[in-house]
Amino acid sequence: MPTTVPAYGKEAAERLASLADVTAGDGALRRFLHGLPGVDAVGLQARAATLGTRSIKTTAKAYAIDLAISMIDLTTLEGADTPGKVRALCAKGINPDPTDRSAPKVAAICVYGDMVATAKEALTGSGIHVAAVATAFPSGRASLPVKLADTRDAVAAGADEIDMVIDRGAFLSGRYLDVFEEIRQVKEACVREDGSGTAAHLKVIFETGELQTYDNVRRASWLAMLAGADFIKTSTGKVAVNATPPVTLVLLEAVRDFHAAVGVQVGVKPAGGIRTSKDAIKYLVMVNETLGDEWLSPEWFRFGASSLLNDLLMQRQKLSTGRYSGPDYVTVD
Amino acid sequence: MPVFEYAPAPESRAVVDIAPSYGLFIDGEFAEAGDGKVFKTLSPSSEEVLSEVAQAGVEDVDRAVKAARKAFETWSALPGSERAKYLFRIARIIQERSRELAVLESLDNGKPIRESRDADLPLVAAHFFYYAGWADKLAYAVRGRSPLNGTSGADPRPLGVAGQVIPWNFPLLMLAWKIAPALATGNTVVLKPAETTPLSALFFADICRQAGLPKGVVNIVTGDGSTGAELVAHPGIDKVAFTGSTEVGKAIARTVAGTRKKVTLELGGKAANIVFDDAPLDQAVEGIVGGIFFNQGHVCCAGSRLLVQESVQDELLDALKRRMSTLRVGDPLDKNTDIGAINSAEQLARIRALADAGEAEGAERWAPACELPSSGYWFAPTLFTGVTQAHRIAREEIFGPVLSVLTFRTPEEAVAKANNTPYGLSAGIWTEKGSRILWMANKLRAGVVWSNTFNKFDPASPFGGYKESGYGREGGRHGLEAYLDV
């Protein structure tokens, strides 16, 4: 099995290697994760709420809307998905607003593994990535060989990004090393077998609604980053509580601290339930004031969303025409 | 890609109509000062003159006290439920006019609209609502007087006329802290707002009229320190309530000593904000920032001394500096401003002098790169490291956005350093260990001890100090006692 070759740089790789001790055994990993500073829920929520009161107007709003569009992982994850539905979504991702060609394209189209080839073909030449959910998404309840096969299958079909779910059962029962190993092996399975030596980007989904506490979310973030996640992602969008501003803030802070500690930059993706421009802008403000400019690009921040795009487009039309148009002025795909 | 710069988002000034001049509010009417003296009130962010306000002299104060004395006869005789109606009405009007009042407060005081809108005004209304609720339950409010527990005596009685002098840091909120309990308990008041921030009190006078409050129950006399001194010394008042500097508080205590007047004093502070190595660090950083940079540090209970455990000092200071670099200093009316203007040229000079003393005494000064507006009074958020108990900036109240960082190694040392101050208004503890919070809270000599939070206010919670931070409590049921003969 070829090892993955992250473009961390020598110094970062060394600093990361210096953290190898903490993953040497279950006990060491638990001590490390439980030794991270705690999260005070009240204070965290207050901070997230305060960031939500930033007033983003005029030029800043126009900038934020276009940035948000370019960060969308336009998603369809339904059992009823058909090639036609996926192709329609791809067309929308390439050209979100048929009435205004200046609207930016989205970052990626996110589909189930069996739709990767269809999406890949539909997106040819667009520069838009294909993201595939894998590892028995959304429950993660399958054996490791099945999860790895699921991943390799999506990568072989051409997926540029893999969105994996962690084994929440293992995490909640304290088997952190199992979770770590699983992420590490999925990361290896992301390496393309075409001999190019490249790998699909790995996004690790925590399903924060099931982890319940902010301390757990912070530990899961570090665990995933130690195991080599390129992105950390809040949720599948398939449970009652998905991305929230406080949970996303915990991810952002973990990414910031990890970067400060080892020099490795990791991306963040809140997913599920982000439907309005106003909400999206609040997330961008959080990124801006927690991580700064470096993360304000589709390379390092994504929205996992299906209906957010239309609201962004309507707001965009409002800014350019001065009038609200309405849902019939954006496409339903 | 360009950087994400927030476009200006100014709150409109059009919602507030400031008259070119204001008189004194005595016996339900606005009137010029007897000798016609006036002074100007400025917007500290631009030095623009907002209005001219009457300077009350001896006779004016006397008239106000007499009006309050007369009104006391009928006001104190009203059933509590009737007084409550007026207070509820005032509370609702404050809510309805909160945007106007928030803009006015930011203009006159220099504080960011984000704070006047989200902190000051909701708390102002909450205090009136809270004390309105107590007005008809006074017999149950005070210790040992409950008719339900078999120890009933006479119902508690109001004191009479309250002379109240408030500071410029939270003009309307301090007014609410003073006036709401006084009226709920059946007292009448003569209030003197601070010289630099008189406008919201004058707008409040208008709200009293709008609420149909009987004449003379609330009187507002504007003026400088001399007006306040006249009011405190006036033989016609029964109770003095003062919030402000320790120096003035001591003078008031001397004036009142030997008279029948009751007195409560809320004075200065030099609070310790204590961070242990097991603290929730990100939230502690927020708490430190909120503790000292809220309201430009113009907060008597500000967490102006950061006591950090040596083992996390570097980590915490890095995080704090990074966070301070995101603070937005500038136009108070911009909704994205975090830190507004210093209230007056005098205060700015005092902050500068103390900061310079910190440097001269060997502490290391740090401030984030930030561009300050060219007009108005501004001071960048500032941090001093390497501070010891012997430094002036660790002992004297700066009353500005200046944080002094000290370190400790053990909980005992933290307690000793925290208590080693002439003040005792507030303190903060940051740790994930509940037993340590309880242990510390018992040891700290401070009126308010916050744990894993800072600068949180609630009308139901008593507030006041130990030592030179004053005596008496405001807020909560305790706050009623200060206005009752029990």
- Could you tell me the residue ranges of all domains in chain A? 10-326
With residue B253 as reference, give the H or E element that holds it: helix B246-256
B209 & B163 share domain? yes
Interface with chain B: mutation pick from A36, A39, A40, highest number of B CBs within 10 Å: A40
Q: How far apart (Å, rounded) are the C-alpha atoms in residues A248 and A166?
A: 17
Q: How far apart (Å, rounded) are the C-alpha atoms in residues B73 and B188?
A: 9
Whether the CB-CB separation of B236 and B258 falls below 8 Å is answered with no
Question: pLDDT below 70 — which residues of chain B?
Answer: 1-2, 143-154
Nearest CA in chain B to A45: B283
B136 to chain A, any CB pair closer than 8 A? The answer is no
Nearest CA in chain B to A254: B282
B294 & B431 share domain? yes
* pTM above threshold 0.90: yes
CATH number, residue B263: 3.40.605.10
Q: Hey, which bits of B289-401 come out as E strands?
A: 305-309, 364-366, 382-385
Q: In what order do the strands lie in the sheet with B364-366?
A: B364-366, B382-385, B402-408, B305-309, B272-275, B426-430, B448-451
**Within-domain flag for B28:** yes
Per CB-CB distance under 8 Å, the chain A contacts of B7 are 56-61
Residue A224 neighbours by CB under 8 Å, 6+ apart: A166, A183, A204, A206, A232
DSSP lists the bridge partners of residue B49 as B42
Terminal-to-terminal C-alpha distance of chain A: 40
Sign of the Cα torsion B337, B338, B344, B350 reads negative
B221 & B349 share domain? no
Nearest CA in chain A to B10: A55
Distance from CA of A294 to the nearest CA of B (A): 9
Q: Which of A2, A60, A31 has its CA nearest to residue A192?
A: A2
B2 to chain A, any CB pair closer than 8 A? The answer is yes
- What is the SS3 assignment for B70? helix
**Within-domain flag for B3:** no
Here the tokens at position B190 are: 């003569």
- Is A311 catalytic? The answer is no
With residue B172 as reference, give the H or E element that holds it: helix B171-184
Per CB-CB distance under 8 Å, the chain B contacts of A254 are none
Residues 1..60 of A with a Cβ closer than 8 Å to B: which? 37-40, 42-44, 46-47, 53-60
A288 to chain B, any CB pair closer than 8 A? The answer is yes
User: What's the structural domain count of chain B?
Assistant: 2
- What is the SS3 assignment for B439? helix
Here the tokens at position A184 are: 């590490």
Nearest CA in chain A to B276: A37
Q: How far apart (Å, rounded) are the C-alpha atoms in residues B291 and A159?
A: 49
Q: How many residues does chain A have?
A: 333
* Residue B170, CB-side half-sphere exposure with 13 Å CA sphere: 24
Q: How far apart (Å, rounded) are the C-alpha atoms in residues B463 and A80?
A: 61
B43 & B129 share domain? yes
**What's residue A2's pLDDT?**
37
B118 & B90 share domain? yes
Q: Which of B281, B318, B335 sits opposite A37 (nearest CB)?
A: B281
B324 & B200 share domain? no
B249 & B319 share domain? no
Per CB-CB distance under 8 Å, the chain B contacts of A53 are 114, 118, 335
Q: Tell me, rounded to whole angstroms, the distance of Cα A179 from its chain centroid.
A: 18
Range of the domain at B321: 272-451
B224 & B263 share domain? yes
> B314 in the Ramachandran plot: left (φ > 0), alpha (ψ -120 to 50) or beta?
alpha
User: For B114, which DSSP code?
Assistant: H
CATH number, residue B324: 3.40.309.10
B213 & B333 share domain? no
Sign of the Cα torsion A250, A256, A261, A262 reads positive
Q: What is the ipTM of this complex?
A: 0.94
Helix/strand/coil (H, E, C) string of chain A? CCCCCCCCCHHHHHHHHHCHHHHCCHHHHHHHHHCCCCCCHHHHHHHHHHHCCCCCCHHHHHHHHHHHHHCEEEECCCCCCCHHHHHHHHHHHHCCCCCCCCCCCCCEEEEEHHHHHHHHHHCCCCCCEEEEEECCCCCCCCCHHHHHHHHHHHHHCCCCEEEEECCHHHHHCCCHHHHHHHHHHHHHHCECCCCCCCECEEEEECCHHHHCCHHHHHHHHHHHHHCCCCEEECCCCCCCCCCCHHHHHHHHHHHHHHHHHHCCCCEEECECCCCCHHHHHHHHHHHHHHCCHHHCCCCCECEEECCHHHHHHHHHHHHHHCCCCCHHHCCCC
Here the tokens at position B242 are: 């003062």
**What's residue B187's pLDDT?**
98
Q: How far apart (Å, rounded) are the C-alpha atoms in residues A138 and A145?
A: 17
B176 & B198 share domain? yes
B439 & B477 share domain? no
- CATH number for the domain formed by residue range(s) A10-326: 3.20.20.70
Residue B74 neighbours by CB under 8 Å, 6+ apart: B214
Whether the CB-CB separation of B106 and B233 falls below 8 Å is answered with no
Q: What proportions of chain B, in percent to the nearest 5, are helix, strand and coil?
A: 40, 20, 40
Q: In what order do the strands lie in the sheet with B188-192?
A: B29-31, B24-26, B218-220, B188-192, B161-165, B239-243, B262-266, B470-471
Q: How far apart (Å, rounded) are the C-alpha atoms in residues B130 and B476?
A: 8
- Do the Cβ atoms of B6 and A293 come within 8 Å? no
b/e map A172-201, b = 16+ CB within 10 Å: eeebbbbbbebbbbbbbbbbbeeeeeebbb
Average pLDDT of each block of 10 consecutive residues along chain A (333 residues)?
Answer: 53 81 93 96 98 96 98 97 98 96 97 98 98 97 98 98 98 97 97 94 98 98 97 97 98 97 96 97 98 97 96 96 90 86
Distance from CA of A82 to the nearest CA of B (A): 36
Rounded (10°) angle between helices B58-75 and B225-233: 50
- What is the SS3 assignment for B408? strand
Distance from CA of B105 to the nearest CA of A (A): 19
Q: How far apart (Å, rounded) are the C-alpha atoms in residues A228 and A202?
A: 8
Interface with chain A: mutation pick from B5, B113, B282, highest number of A CBs within 10 Å: B282
Per CB-CB distance under 8 Å, the chain A contacts of B118 are 53
Per CB-CB distance under 8 Å, the chain B contacts of A42 are 283, 452-453
- What is the SS3 assignment for B230? helix
Residues of B with catalytic annotation?
A: 266
> B460 in the Ramachandran plot: left (φ > 0), alpha (ψ -120 to 50) or beta?
alpha
Per CB-CB distance under 8 Å, the chain A contacts of B114 are 53
Residue B211 neighbours by CB under 8 Å, 6+ apart: B86, B89, B90, B93
B199 & B347 share domain? no
**What's residue B151's pLDDT?**
58
- What is the SS3 assignment for B41? strand
